[in-house]
Structures are given as structure tokens and as C-alpha cells.
Structure 1
Amino acid sequence: MSKLPAPPADGFCARAWANTADLQQAIVEHPFNAALTDGTLDRDRFAFYIVQDARYLVGFAQTLAAAAARADNAEDAAFLAGAAQGALIEERRLHAGYVAEFGLSDTEIAGIDTSPSCLAYTSYLRANALTEPYPVLLAAILPCFWVYQHVGTTILEATGGAGDHPYQAWIQTYADDEFAEAVLAARDLTDRVAKSMDAEMQQRMLQAFTRATEYEWLFWNSAWIKEEWPTAGFLK
């Protein structure tokens, strides 16, 4: 397990994390993550989450690819493109394992609607990719890296790395050294780009980071309540 070093105190990331500190704590303490930590999270909720997350990752990967196309240098483009590939391949491999474990058929998966929160979050990221400047896009992408690493390492610390934990594979994915390196790279890239921006652009970046972090909370909550469309009853 890798605990991330604190970001430079004078950088954008330190300011963004401080601005969302209470929300970060609320995410860790959310009933979904509390139940995931102690192993009591029921499988229906986790299965719902896995289906939503697989769909979210498609939009996240598309957003990363868009950021890669707009990167200022080859090294940054390679990192963002590689992260897009990881979202589509490595993490979805974990999802496929859980789907097989739960015995979900393709028909059952197709019968689970994309939740309002999942659609809203992916739409928000895609909108940033289409309409916002590159620095703002980076800030909108960052919470998905950083929040998941924070949640994963916090849960791993709480469980002591118990090998018999029912969700150990998920926990380990977001608490391992390789993912921590990706988070550091995303954080360093965002800090480096923000450093050359004026106060107005940095404020826009902060707003994007904050909103994406709010969507992270909404995503966990939607899995906990197995969120449905409130309008479904009006449709045939």
C-alpha cells in the first residue's frame, strides 16, 4: 500500500483538496464505503455499483483520450492515453471478475438502467472535454484518480489487508503502488499546468475539481440507494 505524499503546499492540488476536505471525509464515511470496509455490503448493491462503474469508465476513458489529444508534450499525452487504456482494460477486467462471480448474465446487466448520477457524471466529463480549456479538463479528471486512491488506502488500513475480505480484489486495485504512481502523475501534471495559469483560470479549475468530487459522492450514494429514474413510472 502506498500513502501519497502531501502535494506542494503552494500548488493547486493542495488548495483543491483543502477546499473539498469535508466532502472527502463524507465520501470515506458514506454508508456504502463503511459497509464495504467491514465486509457487510450486500452483493446487490455492489453488483449495481460494478455495472454503473463499468459504464462510467467508458466515459472517463473517452475524456482521458480527449485530454491526451490536447496535451502540450508527448510525455503528458502518453500518460493520459495510457490512463485511458487502463480505464478500459485493467479496471474493467476486475469488473468482469465480479460479474462472473455474481453470476450476472448479459440480459440482467442490460436490464440495469444507467443511473441518473452515473449519466450526469459522465456527461459532465464529456462536456468538459468538448467545451472547457485543457487546464479545466485536467482538474475535472483528477478526482476520479485521487478520490479512489484515498478511499482504497483508507479501507485497506482499516481492514489490515485481510485476505479473506469479500471485496479484497477491489480494495487492492485502488490501494496498490501502481495506482498510487498514476495518481501522483495526474496530480503533478495538474499542478504543473495550473502554475502557469492566472487566478481566473485557477478558480475555474477549482470549480471543476469540486464539482467532479461532488459527483464522486453522488456516485457512491447512487449505488447505496440503487438509484432509479423517478420518471420511470410514467414511461411504457
Structure 2
Amino acid sequence: MFCDDMWLRTADLMTAIHDHPFNVALGDGSLDADRFAFYIVQDARYLEAFSRALATASARATDLEEAAFFASSAHTALAAERLLHAGYVAELGAEATGIATSPTCLAYASYLQATALAAPYPVLVAAVLPCFWIYQDVGTTLLGRAGDLGGHPYGKWISTYSDPEFAASVTRAKAIADRLAEGAAPDTRAAMEQAYLTAAAYEWMFWDSAWRRESWPTARWLAP
């Protein structure tokens, strides 16, 4: 199955994601507020592109249930998850102001937008799947590490992505990807694999860029 194959091929990457200092500190609550503020601002901006990609997937789907799933997921990305982000931004206050869009955020968002515009439906589904699946895996793992989230500074984030309803949406997205890959021509299957691997790589890069508070190397010459 497509998803089983992709999980095996990204096993080392998933270990690196779980062991990344950003996620380790996120899980134990020791993550600096400025690093989390950087991440949450970037993620809110990324979600705009992600939700548009999901909306495009909904429009491209020929199966009405799949179309409804992606339409609902697009709404969730814009509404529920952005509400989570807005709450954290309000709490963080000054730490979340004046943060420019990072190179990695722009690259990942642009990749999804380009895929949504130019790639066939199965490839687009493969490209959006890592954001579903990896976040659910990280959220569930962090919940297991943290145990009781009472008083945890990032408990709402962990709860969101370890929630059973979110897990159900991941299961549905995986089933769609498996179905599409099973009936795909070899070149389409190969493109699906590359799309998944590319998006999965961007997931690691996204957390790493937040840990480093990535900036544009040209900012000193192009500052507003």
C-alpha cells in the first residue's frame, strides 16, 4: 500500500522529527516563547496555502465523499486551527509581532500552491497527506511523553493534534491516498511518491526553521 511504503521510506526522517530539539522542548514544555511565537506565526501563514490546496483537492475530486472530506478539512484548517493559532498569538503578545515570513514557510506554501495548480488530483492528495499524518503522529507522541497536560504551556497544541477526531481525518486521508495510488499509472504513482517525500521533508525543515528562527540572508540589504 502507498501509505505503508511512504512510512517505511520516511522512517529515519520521522525519527529526526521526533528527536528534533524543537519538538522535544515542545513536548516537555521547555520551549522558549520566542521560538514558539516564530513557529505559530509561520504555521498560521502556511495554513492559508494548505487550506487552499485542500479546497482545490475538493474541487478536483470525482468522488463526492472525498470532495466533502477535503472541503471540510479546508474549513477546519482555516477555522479551528487558526483559532488555536490566534489564541496563542494573543497570549504571546509582543513575541509574535514583526515576524517576517521565513524562507522555509514561503517555500513550503509555494510548493503546495504550485502542486495544487499544476499536478493531477492524486499527486495533490499525496502532497497534502504529510501535514495530516505527521502532525497527528507528533501530537500523539508528545501526548504520550507529557502525560497530564494540566498546566502545560503548549497543552492546547498537543491536544489539537492528538485528538481522536483529528486521527479519524488522518485515517480518511490515508485511505484516499491508498485508493488513488492503487489505480494510478506508474508515472502518476512515482509522482505521488515524490510529492509525499517532498512535503515530508518540508515538515522537518519547518520545525528546524522555527528552532533557528530562520531569517532571510538578504534581509540586511532589503529591510523595510
TM superposition score normalised by structure 1: 0.92
**What is the Cα deviation at residue 102 of structure 1?**
1.3
Segments of structure 1 that go 5 or more residues without pairing to the other structure are: 1-10
Q: Residue 53 of structure 1: which of 32, 39, 43 is its match?
A: 43
After TM superposition, list the pairs within 5 Å mapping 1:20-59 onto structure 2: 20-59=10-49
Partner of 2:180: 193
Q: Which has the higher helix share?
A: 2
**What is the Cα deviation at residue 201 of structure 1?**
1.5
User: Which of 150-159 and 200-209 deviates more?
Assistant: 200-209
TM superposition score normalised by structure 2: 0.97
Partner of 1:99: 89
Q: CA RMSD in A?
A: 1.1
Q: Residue 8 of structure 2: which of 6, 9, 18 is its match?
A: 18
Distance, in Å, in 2 between the alignment partners of 1:159 and 1:128 is: 36
**AA partner of residue 13 (structure 2):** L
Distance, in Å, in 2 between the alignment partners of 1:158 and 1:119 is: 31
Partner of 2:110: 123
SS of the aligned residue for 1:165 comes to coil
Distance, in Å, in 1 between the alignment partners of 2:60 and 2:99 is: 34
Q: C-alpha offsets along residues 50-92 of structure 1, whole Å, 9 cap, x if unaligned?
A: 1000000000000000110000111110000000000000001
**What is the Cα deviation at residue 205 of structure 1?**
0.6
**AA partner of residue 187 (structure 2):** E
Distance, in Å, in 1 between the alignment partners of 2:169 and 2:222 is: 43
1:161 lines up with 2:161 in the alignment: no
Partner of 1:79: 69
**What is the Cα deviation at residue 203 of structure 1?**
1.3
After TM superposition, list the pairs within 5 Å mapping 1:160-179 onto structure 2: 160-179=147-166
Distance, in Å, in 1 between the alignment partners of 2:26 and 2:85 is: 16
**What is the Cα deviation at residue 25 of structure 1?**
1.0
How many aligned residue pairs are there? 223
Change in Cα spacing, 1:104 to 1:82, as seen in structure 2 (3 Å) is farther
**What is the Cα deviation at residue 235 of structure 1?**
1.8
Distance, in Å, in 1 between the alignment partners of 2:94 and 2:166 is: 28
Partner of 1:231: 218
Partner of 1:134: 121
Segments of structure 2 that go 5 or more residues without pairing to the other structure are: none
**What is the Cα deviation at residue 27 of structure 1?**
0.6
